Amino acid sequence: MKKLLFLLLSLVLLLSACNSSDTTTATATKLENVPESVQGGIKIAIIRNLPADDHTKQFLDGARQEGEAFGFKVDTMIAENNDAKFQELVAQAIQQDYDGLIISHGKADYSYDMIQPAIDKGMKVVTFDTVAEKDGKKLEGVTETFQDDHKLAELSLDEIAALGDKPKVIKVWFGPGVPPLDSRQEIYKQYEEEGKFETLETVGPTNMQDVQGDVATKMNAILAKYPEGTVDAVWGSWDEMAKGAYKAMKDNKRDDIKMVSIDVSNQDINLMREEGSNWIATAAVDPFLIGQMNMRLLAKKLAGDETPESYNLEARLIKQSDLKEDTTMFNLDQIIEGWGVSDDHNEPWMDELRKEFKK
Amino acid sequence: MEQRALKIDNPIKKESPWQKPLNFINNWGTVIAIVVLIVFFAVAVPQFMTGSNIVNIMRSISIVTIIAIGLTVSLTVNGFDLSIGSTATLANSLVVSFFVWYSLPTGISIALALILALSVALFNAFLIVKIKIPDLFATLATMFIVEGVAMTYTGGGSISVGMPRLDGTPTNGTIPSAFALISQTPYIIILMLIVVGSVYFFLKHTKHGRYLYMIGGNIEASRLSGIPVNRYRTLAYVISALLAALGGVVLASQIGSAQINAGGGYLMPAVAAAFIGSSFAGQGKPNAIGTLVGATLIGILENGLVMMSVPYYSLNIIKGAVLALALASTYYTRRKN
Amino acid sequence: MVLIARAIVHERKFLILDEPTAPLSNRETAELFRIVRELSKNQGLGIIFISHRLPELFEICEAISIMKDGKMITTEAIKSINQKKVIELMLGKSFNEAHQKHQIPIGNTLLKVTNLTDEANFLKNVSVVVKEHEIVGIAGLVGAGKTELCKAIFGENANSSGEIYLKNKLVVNQNPSQAVKNGFALVPEERRKEGVLVDEPVFTNLTAASLKRFTLPFSILKPDREREKARKLIESLGIKTPNENQKVSLLSGGNQQKVAVGKWLLTDAELLMFDEPTKGVDVGAKGDIFDLITKLAEEGKGIIYASSELNEILNVTDRIYVMYDGQIVKELVTSETNEEEILFYSTGGQ
């Protein structure tokens, strides 16, 4: 018994030892054309306050890969829309010796106070979809990035409004309290008041761990209530929920209903491309690119370069009819102009770093 | 002691006039609740009683039921397996990774995922039987470990077709259409019924089932009756993990991807189903049919309430309240006995 | 010790010690005695020392009072009395009950236990022999190690050392499950906790140890067969229950005990151990249990009968081992001994 325990313990220790040994690769020589302040053991923390989904993963991957390409050590944390846990994580990160933070989806109520200590400590901060404002004052030196949620909502809802004369809509939405979804809701409300469509039901998840499955269950019940021909469209305000709704419609063979959503992932693309799929369009900003942009902005801050106070990432509409056989998240740029690649905020010294760390 | 013996020889016990109806409610509380709910929803929403909606309900409870049946087996030995949700997540991640990363065939992927998930059971059994940590604490620890293992293995938790791996390696596997079929009707419902039926038979009509219940009733007396107690407790956790993993595989088939802690959300509904099920037919013991009935109760409730356009944020209030009522009907009278 | 210390701090005039050495080791006992002596000498404390371990009393006390059945029998100076006399007084001189021993011819050696020592080192080098048709008593006071001995033979105490031979064949009882396979059975002392499953019906209790006999292929149970066997047992053992489906918790103590014994009658047990089988059992059921044990011996089984009820031991057994402090201190032939002698050895007499 004791032997086994010992074995287990030593295994754990060994594993952790291995882990730490390969992260401590510091650059020995300094590069000439690169600002010194971004060289040698830069540590970045990315903290995101959204339930884990494909969007989250792509955002984190984008930021991490860009950061690692610069030779930074990047740690990622997610708080799953638990504000208390989120603030804790951020506070912890500030305690540690990170050089920069990327804060994603902090809420207006606390973000200013939460980030303040990091600024005081001299950390560089870039935020995404986070409102860090207090009494109309913004935090100095923080760059805010947003994906244009109003625009995303407009793009998707225009598609729905175009389906006919005042189409009947099942709204798949969750909130209030999640900033991007709240922004999307504002547009939805506006359109609804303008009489562009009519809402039949609102569906949302109660099991935040299996959003997809949970929404599918609820959508099943709703679909049973509305026989064929009584619903025109489903608006999926977040693709994770849209996937569940899609699943339910497919299981019930309800291709009489069209679905338009917001956000995109590989799985979404696969589902849109399925034979007889009723998922006709989704509006999105490339989450991978968002991650990259956030990291570039943070690198520029570390280098002491000029950075804007805010930066908006442009929304695009991906239509079912545009998708090709082999389309994935990584070649969407072939069918959507300007998708996924951007030279914004790219500096010559970043290329130097990329070259150096490619070895 | 002597007094008690006398009572039995003399069966003229004073019974309150309420005893009989109370006993009836005690035994059949969950079933009554289901009937009442069905009538209520059928009147309130005409579409509730359509065949397709009933199929909907059955499908929606399938995964919860499969996982809850596993939990039921761990409850029979008076254990408690908190790690089922994580185990489902792990199996979900494993099976999707076999498809997407390694392009393995359907049968092999499923079998491998189930076999690997068994390591969770063995770890649980090691902690509980050998180290003698109480079940609840041991499986709580396992729950976190397994959740972390699943996330570490997948590199953050989610895998879907076409998504490159964490290190940037592109993937080219797809999810076979045969696999996706598992979660379609009627297969998913048939699978659930097979699981319920076979576990029912196993618990009720085999020597092993009898031993499991005996151990749950009194572990010391069971040991001293020559029952290999540790072996059977291990078996209980093996079955529990296996069914949780099966639930995870079905979940993978349903969502076609691996999601962070996707199985975690099934823990509490499974616990609720198994607990409600314990009171089924006055058994007072965890049992497979009861668990199915418990899951059905929750499923009907959820379906009906959504149909009545009860806002999703209020759903859990009513759900919890009905559960409390169903349980109260059982425990209120049991306390007196 | 803490309790004594607390008593001393409060400067009382009397100190009553009730079986103070029961949970203590020898070394601790010596320490306790040293303190007690000091207290009585230096602080002038009056001390009452209650114990059934007679040597202790002779070691530490100056006067002795003997109680029996709630009555004070006598008070004498310790010097004017000896251990034998104390025992006689404890039992009452009128004790002279006739043995109702069944005449059974004793067979070959069935069980041989040599140098059994348990993990906690409480049992020390215990050696026991039981022959076919023989009922062997284990006598001793509460805490002498009777239960520990039974459980150690039954494999409940896995890491114990020593060897167990059944019919001259070395057997390893790593756990009770193995012991049952090897032909051992135990009716434990704590009936409701260890002997029966109180929430289960009578018939599942009776078949608990022999369930393999009631299965089809794939371990599928044959409940009708179980019930049939159970009904037979209920009748032959005279278990008072409305039917075989009655929960055991609703039976009286004596009938519960019959169920606990009954489950072994369906196994191949060759050696049956009974640990305080009459505890909490009414007089009628007691007689039934004695008859049953005697009958089992007649069938050729070996019986170990552990009890602190001396008259029962004398009544039922052929031979007696007397235990004191985890050791067997004396082996006696039942027909040649009496209660005084047993008590003498079980209270540590040499």
Specify the 3-state DSSP secondary structure of A209: coil
Q: Which residues contact A161 (CB under 8 A, 6 or more apart)?
A: A167, A191, A196, A197
Q: At B13, is the pLDDT very low, low, confident or very high (cuts 50, 70, 90)?
A: very low
Q: Is pLDDT of C100 > 60?
A: no
Q: Cβ of C179 and B226 within 8 Å?
A: yes
| CB distance A302 to A124 below 8 Å | yes
Q: Which residues 67-86 in chain A show a CB within 8 A of chain B?
A: 76, 78
For the ranges B152-166, B197-211, B234-248, the lowest mean pLDDT is seen at B152-166
Element housing B189 (H / E) = helix B187-205
Tokens 């007089």 locate to C283
Q: Which residues contact B177 (CB under 8 A, 6 or more apart)?
A: none
Q: At A14, is the pLDDT very low, low, confident or very high (cuts 50, 70, 90)?
A: low
CA–CA dist B314, B302 (Å, integer) = 11
Model pLDDT, residue A327: 85
Residue A356 burial by CB count (10 A; 0-12/13-18/19+): exposed, middle or buried? middle
Q: At C27, is the pLDDT very low, low, confident or very high (cuts 50, 70, 90)?
A: confident
**DSSP secondary structure letter of residue A42:** -
Q: Is pLDDT of B80 > 90?
A: yes
Tokens 């290999």 locate to B228
Tokens 């032909």 locate to C183
Each residue's pLDDT tens digit, B240-271: 999 999 999 999 998 888 887 888 889 988 99
B297 against A333, higher pLDDT: B297
- Min Cα separation A231/chain B (Å): 15
B225 against C83, higher pLDDT: B225
Model pLDDT, residue C206: 94
| Cα-only R_g, chain A | 22
Q: Is pLDDT of A38 > 80?
A: yes
Q: Which residues 312-331 in chain A show a CB within 8 A of chain B?
A: 328-330
Tokens of A284: 């999105």
Model pLDDT, residue B11: 39
**The one-letter amino acid at C184:** F
Q: Is pLDDT of A13 > 60?
A: no
Q: Cβ of B225 and C180 within 8 Å?
A: yes
Model pLDDT, residue A235: 96
Q: Is pLDDT of C252 > 80?
A: yes
Three-class SS of chain C: CHHHHHHHHCCCCEEEEECCCCCCCHHHHHHHHHHHHHHHHHCCCEEEEECCCHHHHHHHCCEEEEEECCEEEEEEEHHHCCHHHHHHHHHCCCCCCCCCCCCCCCCCEEEEEEEEECCCCCCCCEEEEEECCCEEEEECCCCCCHHHHHHHHCCCCCCCEEEEEECCEEECCCCHHHHHHCCEEEECCCHHHHHCCCCCEHHHHHCHHHHHHHECHHHEECHHHHHHHHHHHHHHHCCCCCCCCCEHHHCCHHHHHHHHHHHHHCCCCCEEEEECCCCCCCHHHHHHHHHHHHHHHHCCCEEEEEECCHHHHHHHCCEEEEEECCEEEEEEEHHHCCHHHHHHHHCCCC
Model pLDDT, residue A35: 85
Which chains does B contact via 3+ CB–CB distances below 8 A? A, C
For the ranges C66-70, C194-198, C312-316, C327-331, the lowest mean pLDDT is seen at C66-70
- Which of C200, C202, C203, C243 should be substituted to probe chain B, the one whose Cβ sees the most B Cβ atoms within 10 Å? C200
Q: Which residues 11-70 in chain A show a CB within 8 A of chain B?
A: 51-54, 56-57, 60-61, 65
Q: What is the ipTM of this complex?
A: 0.81
Contact residues on chain B for C224, CB-CB shorter than 8 A: none
Residue C272 pairs with which residues in a beta bridge? C185, C303
Q: Cβ of A217 and B303 within 8 Å?
A: yes
Contact residues on chain A for B87, CB-CB shorter than 8 A: none
Model pLDDT, residue C94: 41
Closest CA to A71 of A111, A42, A106: A42
Q: At B175, is the pLDDT very low, low, confident or very high (cuts 50, 70, 90)?
A: confident
| CB distance B197 to B39 below 8 Å | no
For the ranges B120-124, C239-243, C345-349, the lowest mean pLDDT is seen at C345-349
CA–CA dist B56, B189 (Å, integer) = 10
Closest CA to A356 of A65, A31, A63: A31
Q: At A20, is the pLDDT very low, low, confident or very high (cuts 50, 70, 90)?
A: very low
Q: Is pLDDT of B7 > 70?
A: no
C259 against B324, higher pLDDT: C259
Q: At B90, is the pLDDT very low, low, confident or very high (cuts 50, 70, 90)?
A: very high
Model pLDDT, residue A326: 84
CA–CA dist A320, A314 (Å, integer) = 20
- Which of A173, A225, A243 should be substituted to probe chain B, the one whose Cβ sees the most B Cβ atoms within 10 Å? A225
Model pLDDT, residue C160: 74
Three-class SS of B277-330: HHCHHHCCCCCHHHHHHHHHHHHHHHHHHHHCCCCCCCHHHHHHHHHHHHHHHH
CA–CA dist B108, B99 (Å, integer) = 10
Element housing A319 (H / E) = strand A316-319
pTM of the model: 0.78
Determine contact: B255 vs chain A, CB below 8 A: yes
CA–CA dist B164, B47 (Å, integer) = 44
Model pLDDT, residue C30: 83
Each residue's pLDDT tens digit, B99-142: 999 999 999 999 999 999 999 999 999 999 999 999 999 999 99
Residue A124 pairs with which residues in a beta bridge? A100
Mean pLDDT of B275-284: 78
Tokens of C227: 């019930």
Most confident region among A324-328, B57-61, B200-204 by mean pLDDT: B200-204
B85 against A344, higher pLDDT: B85
> What's the whole-number average pLDDT of chain A?
85
CA–CA dist A173, A262 (Å, integer) = 11
Tokens 């997540």 locate to B89
Mean pLDDT of C84-98: 61
Q: Cβ of A224 and B50 within 8 Å?
A: yes
Closest CA to A330 of A289, A302, A296: A289
Contact residues on chain A for B91, CB-CB shorter than 8 A: none
Q: Is pLDDT of C98 > 60?
A: no
Nearest CA in chain A to B166: A61
For helices A239-251 and A266-273, the axis angle rounded to 10 degrees is 30
Model pLDDT, residue A124: 93
Cβ–Cβ contacts within 10 Å for residue C91, how many? 16
Contact residues on chain B for C240, CB-CB shorter than 8 A: 5, 8-9
**DSSP secondary structure letter of residue B129:** I
| CB distance A309 to A139 below 8 Å | no
Residue A30 burial by CB count (10 A; 0-12/13-18/19+): exposed, middle or buried? exposed
Model pLDDT, residue B122: 95
Tokens of B179: 């696999």
Identify which of C212, C220, C242 has the shortest CB distance to residue B8: C242
Q: In what order do the strands lie in the sheet with C319-324?
A: C184-187, C271-275, C302-307, C135-139, C319-324, C327-333
| CB distance A66 to A292 below 8 Å | yes
For the ranges B180-184, C14-18, C188-192, the lowest mean pLDDT is seen at C14-18
Three-class SS of B231-269: HHHHHHHHHHHHHHHHHHHHHHHHHCCECCCCCHHHHHH
Mean pLDDT of A3-12: 58
Tokens 């080791």 locate to C25
Each residue's pLDDT tens digit, A121-180: 999 999 998 888 888 888 888 999 988 889 999 999 999 999 988 999 999 998 787 778
Each residue's pLDDT tens digit, B177-190: 899 889 888 999 99
Percent of chain B clearing pLDDT 70 (strictly above): 88
**The one-letter amino acid at B202:** F
Specify the 3-state DSSP secondary structure of B42: helix
Model pLDDT, residue B113: 96
Q: Which residues contact C26 (CB under 8 A, 6 or more apart)?
A: none
**The one-letter amino acid at B252:** A
**The one-letter amino acid at C294:** T
**Positive or negative CA dihedral for C7, C11, C17, C22?**
positive
